[in-house]
């Protein structure tokens, strides 16, 4: 069919959710087509039958009926609610990444995608993923709002500055798929495109090992941690001035002025770039901001390092 | 001896520019929004030409971005929002109510001048090099990153917003206080109901946009962090505030169109509109629910999943009253006595296009589908079906319907029918392929795109050229008719409604004596068939 | 009936239409300020401490004095409307004149306050310096402070023009009840807005 037309009628289905989204899409298309055709037919029939030149019987004409009105309020309402529930179920599923998903880090900036794998493998405007395993993207923007859109996976999520956003998918077929930025981000918005390359898990592992030998994100984070002088306050004997970071990750942190914050990625990110936003109880707000000195990729590496500190301590 | 018509009551430029007559102000608006429509249309033409090929061969990336931003800003605030209210509403609302003018005629003129000042800012912005943020001005791009004339643009929109607020205020007070004796609420023409619902939205939503734009300008001028997360701001707050206005704003655009169509369907079926109370009530329901659904623009923007669910639910609620209108219009045709004059063709086209636009709204409210087609051509096509297919069809239908009243002349009927048909065909050719493009995954605001999308884009561009003919045709023959058209009788359509009980064109004071209303709207007798 | 505009049937219709128009206008004004109050609330919820610190730097004395001036001006405005009913033009002129003077006093003090803030380096985007860690968030407080009180001051200026105009008319014994009442309505509205601004920007830092 599509060969005849010269263009496809539906996008490729390459993720676990894609067939489910498409099913919903085609069902709604069916309903819409039925309603459109129904109304169009009704209009044509009435126009022909009751054209002012026709002698059709008009003596018992009706200008309203409460029963009919409530009928066409309630029936569509019921149908709509069904589609609402259906769409919501998929939406909630799309918003809940499974545990143990392969995590890949994405930084958007005008006008390129920088991608970093935990192993340290970095790429630009290409995203290599394994087939058959859930993959979760941790995304943040360096400047304005961007959006990671992979039509073949039916997923879409804005990438905001200053906030980690997550979206996940499981690829079902190896191949190359379009990666678009779909939130308008300035002059070269249409150039902020790339490819998702899906490969079988073994090939993916092999691919991770190729390329220039680079330190893993954790190692890079540890290096930054030393070079930026974080150790001066946060490590060893000097820790009187600053909170210790071992075992911190994932724990509640008491805050000055009451309340707690969970030490998650977002908290660590903000503590590095906006250290005054939340002050840990019992400490002076003396930490300088690293905003402008390090970019989001480095923050991601630092967070990866801090995560590892957390898990070391939390092991029994 | 009949009193002098409003068109002949003073012929100097001054008598037009300082007129407080609602009918003359309507004409002033008609001329100005037509000019802006041509500007926006020119931008659209260039956009479609550029998209005929996947490569950037007509304009640069920067120019393309400025073109679609200009198209959006001009079409939304300088054409769609004012169109039916300020032209048709201004002209016929007092006539329909049996009043001599709006409640505040000088305020009405002031609104037009505000519109002009806002337009002036937009014009200056264009000349100085344009703006590249899109009509949505998303932060922090607009406030911290764009190097174009964002402040000029938002000041223009801010000012034209107040024009819109004052028009809404005027209509509300007029509808409440200036109804002719006997014209109770349940006897009001449906167009008045829809204008009333529109006015409420104008009054309550527009100031929020005004304030949001002030904050945007402050952030941009003073470099302080209101919406920029780097300085502690929240970019999502901007989107919430922006859509709190801009979603109801789409109902500002479509509700008056629905009102016009109700008039046309009633008149050309020679029958009372089916389910009058439900059609009237659905306008108010749309206005009410319209305030509660702004978050459906942000399903993938980073708001919480729960917020997404609530907004999706409410979006389905707002779909119900729209569906009720379509069903009632269709049912009106049954056992009517249908006359297929040009306005009726436009009205029937409206029903078709609005149905398709409305139904695709259901797709977008079904969260998981929005996650796929958000910010793609699917969305573009969806709202063009409503705004252009729906609203512009209704506007042109209304203009043809009331043209004899406004100008005192009949337009050429055959050309009218031709234009309605051309528009319907051209519109579908332009925008139906865009649904497919969106489903296939073509993002909006791209001036270059992967080659597999080209066939559909070429189809769309070809359709746009037909659409352009459909728009230019009425422009020419309506102007032609001003001089050469047949003189219009008082009531060429045999319509009910007070506006048809005064000469065409009406005298300055509309009615020689205040009319007294004794029956409901659309009290058409059963018409004997005649060939 | 020289006062009756041609679009109205009788004075009663004109009077109710004018009143409804003013109320509708105030509804739109509510939404204008409402958006700002929402923004303030969001950020105060994000940054309670910065907003607390910021509110300590506003001028309690001038702010309270201004509140007193405005509340008094509302009283004299109300009295003006009262006397207009009885067409005691001299008293109307006096009351409205006092209202205008108090309003002008408010604006003068407000400008003085702005000047002080500027000298203290509390004007975001111009010269903002705040000792301590929360500088950028306190700056946000002052952005809202300047935008909201500035917007209020714009409304005060318009109100001042209206009251001044009515004072002049009352002085020439030409003032009429409807315009005076509507001016009063507007004046009270602007006053009420201040009553909300005062706790948000002055009392908030001193609880």
Cβ separation B529–A32 shorter than 8 A: no
Both structure tokens of C83: 């006397």
CB-based contacts of B67, cutoff 8 Å, min separation 6: B43, B46, B47, B50, B59
* A–C interface: beta-carbon pairs under 8 A: 15
pLDDT at A258 exceeding the cut of 80: no
pLDDT the model gives residue A313: 47
| Residue-wise burial string across A103-117, b where 16 or more C-beta atoms lie within 10 A, e elsewhere | bbbbbbbbbbbbbbb
Classify burial at A213, counting beta carbons within 10 Å of its beta carbon; exposed 0-12, middle 13-18, buried 19 or more: exposed
Per-residue pLDDT tens digits for C70-112: 999 999 999 999 999 999 999 999 999 999 999 999 999 999 9
| Residue-wise burial string across A224-239, b where 16 or more C-beta atoms lie within 10 A, e elsewhere | bbeeeebeebbbeeee
pLDDT the model gives residue C2: 53
pLDDT at B531 exceeding the cut of 60: no
pLDDT the model gives residue B274: 93
Contacts of C136 in chain A (CB under 8 A): 276
Categorize the per-residue pLDDT at A289 as very low, low, confident or very high, splitting at 50, 70 and 90: confident
Per-residue pLDDT tens digits for A25-50: 999 999 999 999 999 999 999 999 99
Query: To probe the interface with B, which of C4, C10, C21 has the most B CB atoms within 10 Å?
Result: C21
Q: Does C7 touch chain B (CB under 8 A)?
A: yes
* B-chain residue closest to A191, CA distance: B448
Categorize the per-residue pLDDT at B149 as very low, low, confident or very high, splitting at 50, 70 and 90: very high
Distance in Å, alpha carbon of C77 to nearest chain B alpha carbon: 25
- Mark out the alpha helices in B375-512 (DSSP H runs): 377-384, 393-407, 413-440, 454-484
Q: Does B365 touch chain A (CB under 8 A)?
A: yes
Q: Which of residues 194-223 of A touch B (CB under 8 A)?
A: none
Q: What is the 3-state secondary structure (H, E, C) of B330-364?
A: HHHHCCCCECCCHHHHHHHHHHHHHHHHHHHHHHH
Of C146, C190, C199, nearest in space to C29 by CA: C190
Query: To probe the interface with C, which of A242, A276, A278, A287 has the most C CB atoms within 10 Å?
Result: A276
Distance of CA C14 to the CA centre of its chain: 27
Contacts of B313 in chain A (CB under 8 A): 84
Contacts of A61 in chain B (CB under 8 A): 271, 334-336, 526
Distance of CA C168 to the CA centre of its chain: 21
Mean pLDDT of chain B: 94
Contacts of A157 in chain B (CB under 8 A): 300, 302, 371
CB-based contacts of B410, cutoff 8 Å, min separation 6: B403, B404, B481, B485, B486, B487, B488, B492
pLDDT at A226 exceeding the cut of 90: no
Contacts of A6 in chain B (CB under 8 A): 455
What's the ipTM? 0.92
Residues of chain C whose beta carbon is less than 8 angstroms from a beta carbon of chain A are 47-49, 132-137
Categorize the per-residue pLDDT at B85 as very low, low, confident or very high, splitting at 50, 70 and 90: very high
Q: What is the 3-state secondary structure (H, E, C) of chain A?
A: CHHHHCCCCCCCCCECCHHHHHHHHHHHHHHHHHHHHHHHHHHHHHHHHCECCCCCCCCCCCCCCHHHHHHHHHHHHHHHHHHHHHHHHHHHHHCCCCCCCEEEEEEEECCEEEEECCCCCEEECEEEEEECCEEEEEEEECCCCEEEEEHHHCEEEEECECCCEEEEEEECCCEEEEEEECCCCCCCHHHCCEEEEEECHHHHHHHHHCCCCCCCHHHHHHHHHHHCCCHHHHCHHHHHCCCCCCCCCCCEEEECCCCEEECCHHHHHHHHHCCCCCCECCCCCCCCCCECCECHHHHHHHHHHHHHHHHHHHCC
pLDDT at C152 exceeding the cut of 90: yes
Per-residue pLDDT tens digits for B14-59: 999 999 999 999 999 999 999 999 999 999 999 999 999 999 889 9
Contacts of C135 in chain A (CB under 8 A): 276
pLDDT the model gives residue B78: 96
Distance in Å, alpha carbon of C45 to nearest chain B alpha carbon: 12
Cβ separation B359–A59 shorter than 8 A: no
CB of B338 within 8 A of CB of A50? yes
pLDDT at C117 exceeding the cut of 80: yes
Cα distance between residue B397 and residue C160, in whole Å? 47
Cα distance between residue A72 and residue B24, in whole Å? 42
pLDDT at A277 exceeding the cut of 80: no
Per-residue pLDDT tens digits for C27-80: 999 999 999 999 999 999 888 888 888 898 899 999 999 999 999 999 999 999
pLDDT the model gives residue B529: 55
Mean pLDDT of chain A: 88
Q: Which of residues 140-179 of B touch A (CB under 8 A)?
A: 140-141, 144-146
Cα distance between residue B79 and residue B471, in whole Å? 14
Per-residue pLDDT tens digits for B112-135: 999 999 999 999 999 999 999 999
Query: To probe the interface with A, which of B321, B339, B359, B366 has the most A CB atoms within 10 Å?
Result: B366
pLDDT at A314 exceeding the cut of 60: no
CB of B219 within 8 A of CB of B228? yes
pLDDT at B376 exceeding the cut of 50: yes
* A–B interface: beta-carbon pairs under 8 A: 280
Mean pLDDT of chain C: 91
pLDDT at B470 exceeding the cut of 70: yes
Q: What is the mean pLDDT of residues C127-131?
A: 83
pLDDT the model gives residue A236: 67
> In 3-state terms, what secondary structure has residue C121?
coil
Categorize the per-residue pLDDT at A2 as very low, low, confident or very high, splitting at 50, 70 and 90: low
Contacts of A84 in chain B (CB under 8 A): 312-313, 316, 365-366
> In 3-state terms, what secondary structure has residue C132?
coil
Cβ separation C32–B203 shorter than 8 A: no
For residues A20 and A270, which has the higher predicted lDDT (pLDDT)?
A20
* A-chain residue closest to B527, CA distance: A52
CB-based contacts of A246, cutoff 8 Å, min separation 6: A309, A310, A312, A313
Cα distance between residue B342 and residue B340, in whole Å? 7
User: What is the β-pairing status of strands A126-130 and A194-199?
Assistant: parallel
Per-residue pLDDT tens digits for A82-115: 999 999 999 999 999 999 899 999 999 999 999 9
> Closest to C21 (Cβ–Cβ): which among B104, B165, B225?
B104
For residues B431 and C131, which has the higher predicted lDDT (pLDDT)?
B431
Task: Using CA atoms of B370, B375, B380, B381 in order, give the dihedral in degrees to the nearest 10.
Answer: -40
Cβ separation A178–B441 shorter than 8 A: yes
Of B241, B343, B257, nearest in space to B294 by CA: B241
Residue A170 dihedral angles phi and psi, to the nearest 5°: -120, 120
Q: How many residues are listed for chain C in this entry?
A: 207
Residue with tokens 């008609």: B30
pLDDT the model gives residue A315: 38
Residue A48 dihedral angles phi and psi, to the nearest 5°: -70, -50
Contacts of A1 in chain B (CB under 8 A): none
Cα distance between residue B188 and residue B170, in whole Å? 17
Residue with tokens 């078709």: B352
pLDDT at A312 exceeding the cut of 60: no
CB of A144 within 8 A of CB of A110? yes
Distance in Å, alpha carbon of C46 to nearest chain A alpha carbon: 9
pLDDT the model gives residue B387: 93
pLDDT at C20 exceeding the cut of 60: yes
Q: How many residues are listed for chain B in this entry?
A: 531
- How far are the Cα atoms of A94, B374, C106, C177 from residue A155, in angstroms, in the given order? 8, 10, 56, 64
Distance in Å, alpha carbon of C137 to nearest chain B alpha carbon: 6
Picking from A54-68, B207-221, B458-472, which range would have the lowest pLDDT averaged per residue?
A54-68
pLDDT the model gives residue A240: 60
CB atoms within 10 A of CB B66: 23
> In 3-state terms, what secondary structure has residue B114?
helix
pLDDT at A238 exceeding the cut of 70: no
Distance in Å, alpha carbon of C144 to nearest chain B alpha carbon: 9
CB of A163 within 8 A of CB of B304? no
pLDDT the model gives residue A274: 81
Q: What is the mean pLDDT of residues C104-132?
A: 90
Cα distance between residue B53 and residue B58, in whole Å? 9
Percent of chain B exceeding pLDDT 90 equals 91
> Closest to B207 (Cβ–Cβ): which among C31, C38, C147?
C31
Query: To probe the interface with C, which of B171, B232, B249, B506 has the most C CB atoms within 10 Å?
Result: B232
Categorize the per-residue pLDDT at C1 as very low, low, confident or very high, splitting at 50, 70 and 90: very low
pLDDT at C128 exceeding the cut of 70: yes
Residue C187 dihedral angles phi and psi, to the nearest 5°: -60, -45
Distance in Å, alpha carbon of B205 to nearest chain C alpha carbon: 7
Cα distance between residue B494 and residue B490, in whole Å? 9
pLDDT at C142 exceeding the cut of 50: yes
CB-based contacts of A78, cutoff 8 Å, min separation 6: none
Distance in Å, alpha carbon of C72 to nearest chain B alpha carbon: 29
Residue with tokens 């705040």: C130
Q: What is the mean pLDDT of residues A190-206?
A: 94
Q: What is the mean pLDDT of residues A211-227?
A: 85
Q: Does C5 touch chain B (CB under 8 A)?
A: yes
CB atoms within 10 A of CB A133: 14
pLDDT at B476 exceeding the cut of 60: yes
Cβ separation A275–C132 shorter than 8 A: no
pLDDT the model gives residue A316: 35
CB of C91 within 8 A of CB of C205? no
User: What is the β-pairing status of strands A134-141 and A165-170?
Assistant: antiparallel
Q: What is the mean pLDDT of residues A257-261?
A: 79
pLDDT the model gives residue A230: 84
Percent of chain A exceeding pLDDT 70 equals 95
Contacts of C140 in chain B (CB under 8 A): 224-226, 231-233
Q: What is the mean pLDDT of residues B413-423?
A: 96
pLDDT the model gives residue A5: 67
Per-residue pLDDT tens digits for B190-199: 999 999 999 9
Query: To probe the interface with B, which of A78, A144, A194, A295 has the most B CB atoms within 10 Å?
Result: A144
Cβ separation B367–A7 shorter than 8 A: no
> Closest to B439 (Cβ–Cβ): which among A11, A20, A185?
A11
pLDDT at A159 exceeding the cut of 90: yes
Binding partners of C (≥3 Cβ pairs within 8 A): A, B
Distance in Å, alpha carbon of B333 to nearest chain A alpha carbon: 6
Distance in Å, alpha carbon of B478 to nearest chain A alpha carbon: 27
pLDDT the model gives residue B2: 66
pLDDT at A158 exceeding the cut of 80: yes
Q: Which of residues 106-145 of B touch A (CB under 8 A)?
A: 132-134, 136, 138, 140-141, 144-145
pLDDT at B384 exceeding the cut of 50: yes
Classify burial at C115, counting beta carbons within 10 Å of its beta carbon; exposed 0-12, middle 13-18, buried 19 or more: exposed
CB atoms within 10 A of CB A292: 8
Of B111, B196, B120, B112, nearest in space to B152 by CA: B120
pTM given for the model = 0.93
Both structure tokens of A127: 């995203």
CB-based contacts of C2, cutoff 8 Å, min separation 6: none
């Amino acid at each position: 069919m599509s060969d005849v037309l010269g263009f496809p009628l539906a996008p490729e289905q390459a993720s676990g959710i894609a067939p489910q989204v498409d099913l919903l899409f085609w069902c709604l298309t069916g309903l819409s087509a039925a309603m459109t055709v129904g109304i169009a037919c009704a209009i044509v029939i009435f126009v022909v039958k009751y054209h002012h030149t026709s002698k059709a019987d008009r003596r018992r004409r009706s200008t309203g009926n409460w029963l009919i009105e409530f009928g066409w309020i309630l029936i569509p309402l019921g149908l709509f609610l069904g589609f609402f529930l259906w769409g919501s179920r998929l939406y909630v599923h799309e918003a809940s990444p499974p545990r143990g998903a392969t995590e890949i880090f994405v930084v958007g900036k005008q006008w390129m995608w920088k991608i970093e794998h935990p192993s340290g493998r970095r790429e630009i405007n290409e995203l290599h993923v394994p087939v058959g395993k859930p993959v979760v993207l941790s995304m943040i923007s360096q400047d304005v709002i961007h959006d990671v859109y992979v039509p073949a996976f039916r997923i879409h999520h804005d990438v905001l500055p200053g906030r980690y956003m997550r979206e996940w998918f499981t690829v079902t077929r190896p191949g190359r798929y379009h990666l678009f930025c779909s939130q308008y981000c300035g002059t070269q918005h249409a150039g902020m495109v790339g490819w998702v390359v899906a490969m079988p898990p073994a090939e993916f592992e092999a691919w991770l090992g190729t390329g220039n030998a680079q330190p893993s994100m954790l190692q890079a984070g540890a290096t930054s941690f030393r070079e930026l002088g974080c150790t001066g306050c946060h490590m060893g004997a000097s820790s009187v001035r600053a909170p210790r970071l071992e075992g911190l990750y994932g724990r509640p942190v008491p805050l000055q002025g009451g309340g707690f914050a969970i030490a998650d990625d977002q908290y660590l990110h903000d503590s590095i770039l906006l250290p005054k936003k939340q002050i840990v109880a019992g400490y002076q707000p003396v930490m300088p901001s690293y905003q402008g000195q390090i970019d989001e990729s480095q923050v991601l590496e630092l967070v990866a390092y801090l995560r590892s500190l957390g898990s070391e301590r939390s092991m029994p | 001896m009949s009193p002098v018509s409003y068109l002949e009551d003073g012929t100097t430029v001054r008598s037009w520019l300082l007129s407080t007559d609602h009918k003359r102000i309507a004409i002033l608006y008609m001329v100005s929004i037509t000019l802006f429509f041509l500007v926006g249309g020119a931008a659209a033409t260039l956009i479609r030409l550029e998209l005929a090929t996947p490569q950037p061969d007509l304009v640069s990336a920067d120019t393309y971005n400025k073109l679609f931003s200009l198209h959006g800003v001009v079409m939304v605030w300088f054409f769609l929002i004012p169109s039916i209210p300020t032209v048709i509403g201004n002209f016929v609302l007092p006539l329909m109510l049996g009043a001599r003018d709006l409640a505040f005629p000088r305020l009405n003129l002031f609104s037009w001048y505000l519109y002009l000042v806002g337009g002036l800012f937009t014009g200056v912005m264009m000349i100085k090099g344009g703006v590249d943020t899109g009509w949505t001005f998303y932060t922090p791009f607009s406030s911290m990153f764009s190097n174009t004339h964002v402040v000029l643009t938002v000041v223009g929109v801010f000012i034209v917003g107040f024009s819109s607020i004052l028009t809404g205020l005027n209509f509300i007070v007029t509808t409440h206080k200036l109804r002719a004796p006997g014209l109770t609420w349940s006897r009001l023409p449906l167009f008045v109901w829809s204008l009333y619902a529109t006015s409420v939205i104008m009054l309550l939503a527009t100031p929020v946009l005004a304030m949001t734009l002030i904050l945007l300008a402050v952030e941009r001028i003073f470099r302080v962090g209101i919406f920029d997360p780097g300085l502690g701001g929240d970019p999502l707050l901007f989107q919430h505030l922006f859509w709190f206005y801009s979603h109801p704003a789409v109902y500002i655009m479509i509700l008056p169109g629905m009102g016009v169509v109700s008039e046309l369907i009633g008149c050309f079926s020679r029958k009372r509109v089916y389910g009058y109370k439900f059609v009237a009530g659905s306008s108010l329901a749309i206005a009410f629910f319209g305030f509660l659904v702004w978050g459906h623009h942000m399903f993938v923007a980073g708001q919480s999943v729960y917020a997404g669910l609530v907004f999706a639910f409410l979006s389905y609620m707002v779909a119900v009253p729209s569906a009720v209108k379509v069903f009632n219009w269709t049912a009106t045709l049954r056992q009517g006595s249908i006359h297929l004059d040009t306005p009726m063709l436009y009205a029937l086209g409206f029903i078709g296009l609005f149905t398709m636009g409305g139904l695709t709204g259901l797709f977008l409210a079904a969260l998981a589908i929005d996650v796929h087609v958000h910010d793609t051509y699917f969305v573009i096509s969806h709202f063009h079906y409503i705004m252009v297919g729906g609203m512009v069809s209704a506007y042109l239908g209304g203009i043809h319907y009331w043209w004899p009243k406004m100008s005192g002349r009949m337009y050429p009927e055959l050309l009218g029918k031709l234009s309605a048909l051309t528009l319907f065909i051209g519109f579908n050719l332009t925008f139906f392929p865009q649904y497919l493009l969106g489903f296939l995954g073509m993002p909006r605001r791209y001036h270059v795109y992967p080659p597999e999308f080209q066939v559909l884009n070429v189809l769309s561009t070809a359709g746009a050229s037909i659409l352009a003919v459909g728009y230019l045709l009425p422009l020419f023959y309506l102007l032609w008719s001003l001089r050469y058209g047949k003189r219009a009788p008082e009531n060429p359509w045999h319509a009910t409604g007070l506006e048809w009980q005064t000469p065409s064109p009406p005298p300055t004071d509309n009615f020689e004596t205040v009319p007294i209303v004794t029956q409901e709207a659309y009290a058409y007798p059963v018409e004997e068939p005649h060939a | 009936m020289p006062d009756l505009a041609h679009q109205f049937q009788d004075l009663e219709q004109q009077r109710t239409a004018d009143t409804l128009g003013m109320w509708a206008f105030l509804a739109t004004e509510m939404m204008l300020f409402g958006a700002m109050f929402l923004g303030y609330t969001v950020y105060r919820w994000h940054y309670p401490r910065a907003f607390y610190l910021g509110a300590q730097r506003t001028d309690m004395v001038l702010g309270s004095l201004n509140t007193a001036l405005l509340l008094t001006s509302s009283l004299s405005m109300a009295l003006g409307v009262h006397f207009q009913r009885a067409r005691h033009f001299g008293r109307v002129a006096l009351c409205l004149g006092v209202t205008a003077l108090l309003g002008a006093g408010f604006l003068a003090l407000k400008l003085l306050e702005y000047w002080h803030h500027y000298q203290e380096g509390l004007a975001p985007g111009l010269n903002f310096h705040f000792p301590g860690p929360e500088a950028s968030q306190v700056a946000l407080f002052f952005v809202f402070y300047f935008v909201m009180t500035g917007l209020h001051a714009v409304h005060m200026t318009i109100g001042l023009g209206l009251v001044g105009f009515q004072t002049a008319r009352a002085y020439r014994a030409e003032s009429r009840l409807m315009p005076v009442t509507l001016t009063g309505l507007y004046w009270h509205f602007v006053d009420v807005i201040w009553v909300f601004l005062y706790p948000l920007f002055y009392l908030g830092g001193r609880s």
